[in-house]
Chain A
Amino acid sequence: MPAPNTPSHPVRSEFADDPDMADLVEMFVSEMPDRIGALETCLREQRLGDLQTLAHQLKGAGAGYGFEPVSLIAGRLEASLKTNAELDAINAEVNELIDICRRLTP
């Protein structure tokens, strides 16, 4: 697995070489700009409930598409939102999630 914290380092799907999964992973990655946009909008407008839903969905799906770090980071963000963590911490975690989503590649 690529080191998740290297900036601009692309994150490849674990299933990149699985022919059954190739199309699916590609579709998942191609939808990332929309999700990143949604994350940014929700963060800007401080819609924490919607942020939690987005995080929940990314946590549930990420690893299934071979992107385990997405599930981990999204899961942390979901937990922070659930426990009403400090806004600064939430901001940082959303940005971390956006960062990894930007680096996904099939």
Chain B
Amino acid sequence: MLAIDDSADVLRLLEVRLRNEDIELITATNPIDGMRIAAERQPALILLDLAMPVMDGFEALRLLKNDPRTVHIPVIVVSGSDDTDDKVAGFNLGAIDYVCKPFNMPELRARMRSALRIHALMHMLSQRAQIDGLTGLWNRAHFDRRLTEEVAARARTGKPFTLTLCDLDNFKSLNDTHGHPAGDAVLQQFAKLLTSMLRKQDIACRYGGEEFAIILRDTTAEQATHLLERIRESLESLRWPKHPERNVTGSFGVCDNPAGDAKDPAAWIESADRALYEAKRAGRNRVVISTAPPPTAEFRRAG
């Protein structure tokens, strides 16, 4: 937790009063330091004073809520003013609560717990809204956002990443022959396989239907191929209770340097999709790296 207050008396008081709680308290005596610490240390909660020299608390609150690194951190205004206009202004700027000084410590503690509870629920809801219900993987909306972020980060830092589009082979025929519950079981099992074989920093998403998108961070296409080959083999060797006679395979299209504008997420999708298409045309159940940029004639011949 971070407390931003120009009064050393108040900060010392908080330090002692919160010593017995399971809370690590960081303090800042001015909003400039406070905002920097908030962005760096990512506290679960900020207590913010209003009347401070250099920059008042309202301005600090506005900046905190305009910075993508701190916008999600709940802020309780702790102010010497019990003026209704100040309270309204605080809430309008995005404060989660407003406590008047001198504060009563049990009440402040209760309000802090309440703010943390609400924040945890909001976090859970926003996560749920980005998770695919059937497979538990990230959904398309989350993927779109993350791909945009990764593309921007690559342009900024030059760190490589790899985008893979993967499609389960002949999935429609499996659904038609064995029914949708069998198809759903395949999607879920494959999602589990992906989750178990990918690293923590990788991002696996259900792109739609039987198509999956995988972002492998800090990874070139060549490095990615080793991992994807193992995933492909593991999928192929899975046995299915509902259709033991029929195994499931997948095709993978891999891209770490798209044809066209590398700063455009759509170019990445296009290149990975083209590689996936090549994998399908070459007989499915394989991993194909997109060659960038492919001469059109050669692409036609391969297709």
Contact = CB atoms under 8 A, between A and B. Distances in A.
A12 interface: no
B68 interface: no
A57 B13 contact: no
B192 interface: no
B234 to A, nearest CB: 57
Contacts of A28: 9
B116 interface: no
A20 B16 contact: yes
Contacts of B12: 24, 27
A63 B102 contact: yes
Contacts of A60: 7, 9-10, 80, 101-102
B19 to A, nearest CB: 7
Nearest to A57: B7
Contacts of A78: 80
Nearest to A68: B102
B20 to A, nearest CB: 8
Nearest to A58: B9
A59 B102 contact: yes
Contacts, number: 44
Given A20-B16, A21-B16, A24-B12, A64 B51 contact: no
Query: Which interface residue of A21, A57, A78 has the most chain B CB atoms within 10 A?
Result: A57
Contact of A59 (B16, B20, B80): B80
Contacts of B13: 24, 61, 64-65
Interface residues of A, number: 18
B299 interface: no
B87 to A, nearest CB: 16
Contacts of A62: 102
Nearest to B6: A57
A20 B19 contact: yes
B103 interface: yes
Contacts of B80: 56, 59-60, 78
A64 B19 contact: no
Contacts of A64: 9-10, 13, 101-103, 105
Given A56-B80, A60-B7, A64-B13, A71 B102 contact: yes
A77 to B, nearest CB: 12
Contacts of B17: 20
Contacts of B103: 64
Query: Which interface residue of A28, A53, A56, A60 has the most chain B CB atoms within 10 A?
Result: A60
Contacts of B51: 53, 56
B121 to A, nearest CB: 30
Given A56-B51, A56-B80, A71-B102, A61 B16 contact: no
A65 to B, nearest CB: 7
A11 to B, nearest CB: 15
B7 A61 contact: yes
A78 B285 CA distance: 77
Query: Which interface residue of A20, A24, A57, A64 has the most chain B CB atoms within 10 A?
Result: A64
A24 B15 CA distance: 10
8 contacts: A20-B16, A28-B9, A56-B51, A57-B9, A61-B101, A62-B102, A64-B105, A68-B102
Given A20-B19, A28-B9, A61-B9, 7 more contacts: A56-B80, A59-B102, A60-B10, A64-B9, A64-B10, A64-B105, A68-B102
Closest 7 CB pairs of A and B: A63-B102, A61-B9, A60-B101, A64-B13, A60-B80, A71-B102, A56-B80
